[in-house]
Every structure is written in C-alpha cells, then in structure tokens.
Amino acid sequence: MGWYLQTLKRFGDFGGRSRRREFWLFILGNIVLSVVAAALDAALGLGGFTTVTAPGYAGATYVPGIIATVVALVLLVPSLAVEVRRLHDTGRSAWWMLLLLVPVVGPIVLIVFWALEGQRGDNAHGPDPKATQPVRV
C-alpha cells in the first residue's frame, strides 16, 4: 500500500525515475480498484456486462458505469506519469510511449521495457532510485 500511495503522491511528476516494484504495485492497485469499481457499478445497476446481438455478432460487452469511469479518469495522469518514469529508469525517453499507437506489438514492447531492470547509477533522467530509496519489505 505504501508504494501505491507514494506513486499517487507523485501525481503529475513526469520527471525522474521509478523502480519496477513501484510501477508494478501501482498497476496491481489500479487493477484491483478497477475491478471493485466495475463490481460496484454492476451491483448498483450503473454498468456492467450486457448482451449484444447484432448481425454477425452475438455476445457480451462491458459497458463501464459512472464509478468505473471516474476511477479511470482519476488514475489516468498518475498512471501515465509512473509509466514515463519507469521508461526513464531504463534509460528511455517518454517518446517511447508513442508505441501505444502501434496495434498489438507496441504495447507488448512497452511491457517488456517496463519489466527490464533499471540502469544502475545516475542517467540523464535522474539518480538511481535503488540507491536513494530504502528497500521496503
């Protein structure tokens, strides 16, 4: 929880670097919050899965409700910020985020970059976060 709150405190900080632990725990927290928000929407009848039948298509589609939409909008900027800082930790610039525009391959490449170990020592984006932050267990 501490790593999640630390990332939220750096809400709009697109500079510097973020460790893998900070990044992945923030992503995990976002997933949990999104699932809870979607469940609340479904329980309150504000959104959820709905059956869709159209020519050539029959199945369920997820329609986000107001709670899931608000959660997604609140977490948008902190998510982008931690993604950029994670790229900085691997020595890459924020311009690599444009890979999200490349279908299928772009997001996969970014996930690999986010999973790589950060550069040891200082780089162009700041000091090594492993050297400056105490390790939390």
Q: What is the Cα Rg of the chain in Å? A: 18
Q: Looking at residue 10, what is its pLDDT?
A: 87
pTM for this model (two decimals): 0.82
Q: What's the CA gap between 57 and 22, in Å, rounded?
A: 41
Work out the number of other CB atoms within 10 angstroms of the CB of residue 81.
22
User: 14 — phi, psi (to 5°)?
Assistant: -95, 0
pLDDT of residue 134 exceeding 70, the answer is: no
Q: What's the CA gap between 89 and 95, in Å, rounded?
A: 14
* Pair type for strands 48-54 and 57-63: antiparallel
Q: Looking at residue 50, what is its pLDDT?
A: 80
**What is the number of H-type helices and E-type strands within the chain?**
5, 2
Q: Which of 64, 57, 12 is nearest to 39 (CA)?
A: 64
- Least-confidence region, from 37-41, 45-49, 66-70, 114-118: 45-49
Predicted confidence band of residue 115 (pLDDT cuts 50, 70, 90): very high
Q: pLDDT digits over 33-59, tens only?
A: 999 999 999 999 898 888 877 787 778
What residues form DSSP beta bridges with 90?
A: none
